[in-house]
Structure 1
Amino acid sequence: MMPYIVTSFGKISTFTIMLVCGVLVMFLLVHIRLRKDPSRGNEEAFIFPQIVFCGMAGFLWAAVFDSVFKFQENGGFVLKGITFYGGLLGASITLSLILHLTKCKTGYTINDWFSNLTIPFMGFHICGRIGCFLSGCCYGKITDSFVGVYFPDIPQYGIYHGGMKCYPTQLFEVAALLVILAVVIKVRKRFQTYLFLYAVARFLIEFYRGDDRGNFFGPISPAQTISIVIVLSFVGVRLGGYLKSNRIVLEIEK
């Protein structure tokens, strides 16, 4: 683990460094994607400010969601942590509103933009989870497995591992994201596919998480609750589309 890098300017959090790397990777991938379709116009000038604004909104939502999930534990509404799903939901809703209100102002539709931004965002997501691993947060349960990793204690947050190994759930998620990326590259509805597959992976990984993530509904974690909602919504939409198309076919045959 390497929570900090010591420089002449002081300690710099490796999590912060990886977030910055993630932002740079995201912007680079957006630039590469848009250059493949030069006939569309100056999409970069439009979307880059929106990405920055959505990122700030996502960070705020991530902090709010974490506070809601830990309301009882903290004895009130305290902004002192972040949760990925909150950030993803907040950024997605904000982007949807911006694109709807501005009517995109480009040759792309709202669905086009979400599809175009999925792979770049996954680059940011992967960098962020590597940052989690380096900083020692989002760790797994104690294990004697060969895949276990020794994480540093973080006294300021009351985190002590007692010299025991823990599952590197951050790296489990990175591996899952790489597999999802390989699938997403080959499909048309990239954002929906990413959401569905990530929800499935996150639901399973949560069983190995050992850090405090708050409570929501009984024994399952908040992330698992959200994952279930995403999966059921995806299945519902797909099933609804299938039934609708079949009904149209039957009406034509009549």
Structure 2
Amino acid sequence: MYPELFRIGPVVVSSYGLMLATAFMVGMYLTTRLVRQRNMDEDAVVNLAFGIIISAIVGSRLLYVLTHLSEFEGRWQYTFLPIQPDGSIGLSGLIFLGGFIGAVITGYIYVRMKKLPVWKTADSVAPSLALGLAFGRIGCFLNGCCFGRACDLPWGVQFPVGSPATAFMGDVHLHPTQLYSSAYALLIFALLIWMNHKKMADGIMAGTFLVLYGLSRFTVDFFRYYESQMQVGPLYMNQVISIILILGGLLIIWQSRQKESAKSAITS
């Protein structure tokens, strides 16, 4: 576990932050290539990417705060303030799904404002999101957060003393749920790249991403450790959100196929 790579004065350069920065740069390169293939407005999509990054940070932080209100009681100024009580600079406590929801909302509003083709744009961004998730979860593993439940499997991971995992779970072997999620995301990325070379209706790739990401998150979360306030009946809050993503993705795929069938009927 290497949560902190080095410091420059009060600025902490973390492994998690480095992975997110890497994901952004690689994602921007990939998205730019896909946008060119689709003959879209490259500058508009680049601006969209920057907006998505900002909204993803805000959304992931907001969901963390809303699900950990007691942690900020009496010190609300640190909910979004990047300067922490120990003098370090950075935000500690982010939830991926909150960032994803924030990014989707911002992306949809921007695409509508700029009158970009919604589903063609979403298809161009989907592979980069999957790859970004893969990098991000590796960052989680190096940071020691988003850890799993105790297990006695050969690949169980024992985090060092002082890590978030040992603080909650003690000195035991845990499911490396971060790596499960990263592997899932890489498989989704590979499938989306394969789909990109096929002739498919606009929206199919984006819908597929939502379905597969929702399924992966729903599945992995059975092996992940969560605090009690994250539970909603027999499931966890993130699993409930995952079900919504799956249903939304299936609806997008169905609508895209319906539109494609209607076009084929007109031209035939």
Q: Summarize the Cα distance change of 1:125–1:213 in structure 2 as closer, same or farther, 3 Å threshold.
A: farther
Secondary structure of the corresponding residue to residue 139 of structure 1: coil
Secondary structure of the corresponding residue to residue 150 of structure 1: coil
| TM superposition shift of 1:222 | 1.0
Q: 1:111 aligns with which of 119, 127, 143?
A: 119
Judge conservation of contact 2:23–2:135 (CA < 8 Å) in 1: yes
Q: 2:109 matched to which residue of 1?
A: 97
Greater Cα shift, 51-60 or 131-140: 51-60
Aligned positions of 1:43-122 closer than 5 A: 43-71=41-69, 79=79, 81-104=93-116, 109-122=117-130
Is 1:173 the equivalent of 2:181? yes
The residue identity in structure 1 corresponding to 2:135 is: C
Is 1:6 the equivalent of 2:6? yes
Secondary structure of the corresponding residue to residue 221 of structure 2: helix
TM-score by length of 1: 0.81
Secondary structure of the corresponding residue to residue 5 of structure 1: strand
Judge conservation of contact 2:4–2:15 (CA < 8 Å) in 1: yes
Q: 1:232 matched to which residue of 2?
A: 247
Structure 1 residues not aligned, in runs of 5+: 249-254
In the aligned structure 1, how far is the partner of 2:165 from the partner of 2:141? 16
| TM superposition shift of 1:31 | 2.5
Greater Cα shift, 133-142 or 115-124: 115-124
Q: Summarize the Cα distance change of 1:35–1:166 in structure 2 as closer, same or farther, 3 Å threshold.
A: same
Is 1:182 the equivalent of 2:190? yes
CA RMSD of aligned residues (A): 3.1
Q: 2:19 matched to which residue of 1?
A: 18
Q: 1:58-78 CA deviation, whole Å, 9 max, x = no partner?
A: 211111122223346766996
Q: 1:164 aligns with which of 127, 149, 172?
A: 172
Judge conservation of contact 1:140–1:208 (CA < 8 Å) in 2: yes
Report % sequence identity. Answer: 26
Greater Cα shift, 49-58 or 8-17: 8-17
Judge conservation of contact 1:154–1:160 (CA < 8 Å) in 2: no
Secondary structure of the corresponding residue to residue 146 of structure 1: coil
Q: Summarize the Cα distance change of 1:34–1:234 in structure 2 as closer, same or farther, 3 Å threshold.
A: closer
TM-score by length of 2: 0.77
Secondary structure of the corresponding residue to residue 208 of structure 2: helix
In the aligned structure 1, how far is the partner of 2:248 from the partner of 2:164? 39
Q: Summarize the Cα distance change of 1:229–1:14 in structure 2 as closer, same or farther, 3 Å threshold.
A: same
In the aligned structure 1, how far is the partner of 2:259 from the partner of 2:192? 25
Q: 1:198-246 CA deviation, whole Å, 9 max, x = no partner?
A: 1111111001001438425223111101112222344456667889999
Structure 2 residues not aligned, in runs of 5+: 80-91, 263-268
